[in-house]
Structure 1
Amino acid sequence: MNFTDYLNALDLMPPQQPSLDFLCTLTERHIGRFTFNNLAVLLQEDISLECQAVLNKVVHRGVGGYCFEHNKLAYEALSYWGYKVRIVLARVINNNERAVPRTHRITLVEIEGKRYLVDVGFGANCPIAPIALDSQAIQSAGFEHYQIQQNTLGEFELWQQQEAGPFLLYRFDLTHYTDADCDMGHFYSHKNPTAVFVNNLVVSQKNATATFVITNQHLQHRTNAGTKSSLLESPQALYKALRQIFNLTIEQEVCEFLFAHHIAPRLTNTIERHS
């Protein structure tokens, strides 16, 4: 693989040797440059996890993707540059305890004997900096704060400090995983009729000071000062948001389809509840 185009998109030079500084910069710039979204899932497109296909989709076409694509790309690039990496699979909890499969891919990176959780594919709540795995202190990532905890079963948990209090994002262990395990999680995430990404429109992009996120009919702008929300009340509003805020090249007809199937029914219910 040649990751030159990936580096160019992030305005980075290849690292001379593995370092935490480069890892921090890569994480922040990747999340700031490439959108997290499930548009390909909702449009029932083929989603290949072959590295060249992911590079073409995320970097060359600039249409973003979800965790199995973003974290695959980062993993392969870091491995190519000499980083000690391993695949981690997590159960997404989002503060709602229930039986869920391992449908989130993360990368564990070891530098000078210290382990870091690197995640460039968890959407609006994704930490934009590596999180030290072996510290239970609250850690800053941009304007947000996270904490690693271990439960009574020895599993690791990633918590985010939100306005309403600690929020459990996902839970994972350090079992040995391979691309074959990722293929299973990926298949469930984009093919199972009950999967979150099959039934909801999700788009996000963030940097050190702000996060923009679409969740079905809701558009949010999050900063350290709080959250501003608005409703996407037409296909034109969705088209404008995807083009101007998320810088995605998308056709009006696609926005009309997404609006009709994933926004309009929920929008009606939202308006009725507030009327």
Structure 2
Amino acid sequence: MSELNALFRKRIGMSEHEAITFDKLDTLLEKAALRIPFENLRVIEGKTKAITKENVVDKILLHQEGGLCYELNSLLYFFLIENGFDAVLTRGVVYKPAEQQYLAIGETHLTILLVHAGQTYLVDTGFGGNLPMKPVPLNGEVVSSSNGEFRIRKENSEYGDHVFEMKLKHKDTDWRIGYAFYENKPIADLSACDEIQTIIVSHEESPFNKTPLLTQLTANGSVTLTNTSFTQWVDGVVTKESIDSARFKELAKQYFNWRDWDSYA
């Protein structure tokens, strides 16, 4: 077993001796969602590195950090490939419901498409608090997990030929678009991830290069931390606390196991 395979299993709490079959992916995705946060602190700190297999292993598995989509899903992709799955990485364009339009910065979401028994599924562990925690088939079938309902709808546009949609538990009363993507445009290599990271780090319209953000699903909801607020969802009940820099450090250590605080002193 490779270092990545063993360390990933250890990080999410799966046995080294457990075979990862398609039927086990629900469990794997849920464990990953509950153990690995979506966060942008290295972007804010100016400490990003090239997206390579070695670097994402070092960051997320050895240093126990979280990451953004291009880190979290590239790591999961490597793990899936090592466990015999037929998977590719592909890019998507995130939709902003408040503006009713797609992000102007383009294809900056990285996700995974996996083929099993002749059916293609979307697998995503890098979409913040919007994770399906189950493979979502591209045939339109609705899947449900503890986080809500999810589906893929075929729709041709300038942004893709499919859209990933969600109806989050306790939050959405109707379907909303998460992102658009093409079914048959896999990335050729990880240089695409570096391109995504460059846009996220430097573009003026990037949503992740201005203030710190950490979010993670929990067994009964989610937690989200910024430099000014801490929001908890517990069984559908939301509480929001205004915070200062000292409280930010305290909460980040408590909920996200963060240890590098030099730039927030």
TM class, shorter-length:
0.7 to 0.9
Query: For 1:89, what is the secondary structure of its paired residue?
Result: strand
CA apart distance, 1:171: 0.8
| Residue equivalent to 1:148 | 152
More helix by share: 1
| CA distance, structure 2, for counterparts of residue 27 and residue 214 of structure 1 | 22
TM-score normalized by structure 1? 0.84
User: Are the equivalent residues in 2 in contact too, given 1:212–1:220 (CA < 8 A)?
Assistant: yes
Say which of 216, 222, 233 aligns to 1:222.
233
| 1:157-168 map, 5 Å | 157-161=163-167, 162-163=171-172, 165-168=174-177
Deviation, 1:88, is: 1.4
Residue pair 1:67, 1:104 contacting (<8 A) in 2 also: yes
**Greater strand percent: which structure?**
2
List per-residue Cα deviations over 1:216-236 (Å, max 9, x = no partner). Answer: 52321124423222222x111
SS in 1 for 2:49: coil
Name the structure 1 match of 2:253. Answer: 243
2:116 aligns with: 111
Q: Gaps spanning 5+ residues in structure 1: where? A: 257-275
- SS of the residue corresponding to residue 238 of structure 1 reads helix
Alignment partner of 2:207 out of 196, 208, 211: 196
CA distance, structure 2, for counterparts of residue 18 and residue 106 of structure 1: 19
For 2:253, the aligned partner's letter is: R
C-alpha spacing 1:139/1:227, structure 2 compared with 1 (3 Å): farther
Q: Is the 8 A contact 2:221 2:236 kept in 1?
A: no
| Percent identity (aligned) | 21
In 2, Cα distance between equivalents of 1:101 and 1:215: 24
TM-score (norm 2): 0.87
Aligned partner (choices 94, 98, 112) of residue 92 of structure 1: 94
User: Structure 1 counterpart of 2:68, which letter?
Assistant: Y
Report the counterpart of residue 264 of structure 1 in structure 2. none
| Alignment partners' CA distance in 2, 1:72 and 1:197 | 18
Cα drift, residue 241 of structure 1: 1.1
- Report deviation, 1:244: 0.9
Change (3 A) 1:11 1:164: closer
> What is aligned with 2:218?
207
Structural RMSD (CA):
2.1
SS of equivalent to 2:57: helix
Report the Cα distance in structure 1 between the residues aligned to 2:15 and 2:153, rounded to whole angstroms: 34
**Residue of structure 1 equivalent to 2:85:** 83
Kept after mapping to 2: 8 A contact 1:88/1:108: yes
1:8 is aligned with what amino acid?
Answer: K
User: How far off is 1:32 after superposition?
Assistant: 1.1
Q: Which ranges of structure 2 fall in alignment gaps of 5 or more residues?
A: none
Q: What secondary structure sits across from 2:125 in the alignment?
A: coil
How far apart, in 2, do the equivalents of 1:138 and 1:82 lie? 26
CA 1:200–1:156 in structure 2 vs 1: closer, same or farther (change >3 Å)?
farther
Pick the aligned partner of 1:131 from 129, 136, 161: 136
Q: Post-superposition shift, 1:94?
A: 2.8
Partner deviation per Cα, 1:49-91 (whole Å, 9 max, x = no partner): 1111111110110121111111111001110111000111100
Judging changes above 3 Å, is the alpha-carbon distance between structure 1 residues 86 and 33 closer, same or farther for their aligned structure 2 residues?
A: same
Q: Over residues 183-238 of structure 1, what are the superposed CA-to-partner deviations in whole Å (9 max), with x where a residue is unaligned?
A: 21221112324321112321111134221112452321124423222222x11110
Distance 1:128 1:94, change over 3 A: farther
Indicate conservation of the 8 Å contact 2:105/2:205, yes or no: no
Letter in 2 for 1:101: G
Aligned residue for 1:125, secondary structure, equals: coil
Tell me, in whole angstroms, the C-alpha distance in 2 between the residues paired with 1:45 and 1:139: 37
Tell me the CA shift for residue 16 of structure 1.
7.1
